Structure 1
Amino acid sequence: MTVAKAVVQLVATVLAGLIPALSAGPLDTTGWINVVILAAGIVMVYNAANIPGWSYAKLVASAVSAVAVVLVSSLSGGISLAEIIQMVVAFLGALGVGAIPNGGRPAAA
């Protein structure tokens, strides 16, 4: 399956919106910005090429969105419990994207 890594990023994005909202209360503006960043990560992971000889493009794309979540949370003036949960979910999502093997390249028509 060639979209498995994007699906993992999608699941991480949904969890980053749901888990903090259920455990720490409604998301604030920073929490929603983090969800949007992770949603952009879905697009980046989906569009990253499976480059022969270098299979880390999708992992790097996911890690960039995870780092952006950490950056936004740290610059917001204080890290809440919801943001900590989002950072952990973003990190685990990047690990999940890296753990799934790349799909094969489509055959030429």
Structure 2
Amino acid sequence: MIRGDGGRAIRAVLDRICDKWTMLVVATLDEGRLRFTELHRSIPGISQRMLTLTLRHLERDGLVSRTVYAEVPPRVEYALTTMGKSLIQPALTLASWAIEHNGQIQASRETYDDPAT
């Protein structure tokens, strides 16, 4: 059983990677370096503000690198760090698990929500 600081550490990491946009950003960057506008176009529904916040959080956590090129206008590219790339396989495993068990989860929810059936 995980207790104390271990539990807090796990919760902090899961809060970051399980938010609405993080995994979409990480999965998109798995394809390679992208500029902000390319990244924004690749993730339907994300606002510029949410993309900016998500990228800042991921950069702060060491999962994404931000490279600024001294050009006019300045060019900024984002890429996964080695640690960010190491998140891909566990995320794919979790996604596969979710797909495999989705039918069972939906059936369980229906049973729970309507106990008369």
Pair in the same fold by TM > 0.5: no
Bigger proportion of residues as helix: 1
- Larger-Rg structure: 2
Larger proportion of strand: 2
What TM-score do you get using the length of structure 1 for normalisation?
0.29
TM-score (norm 2): 0.27
* Higher RCO (CA-CA < 8 Å; seq separation 6+): 1
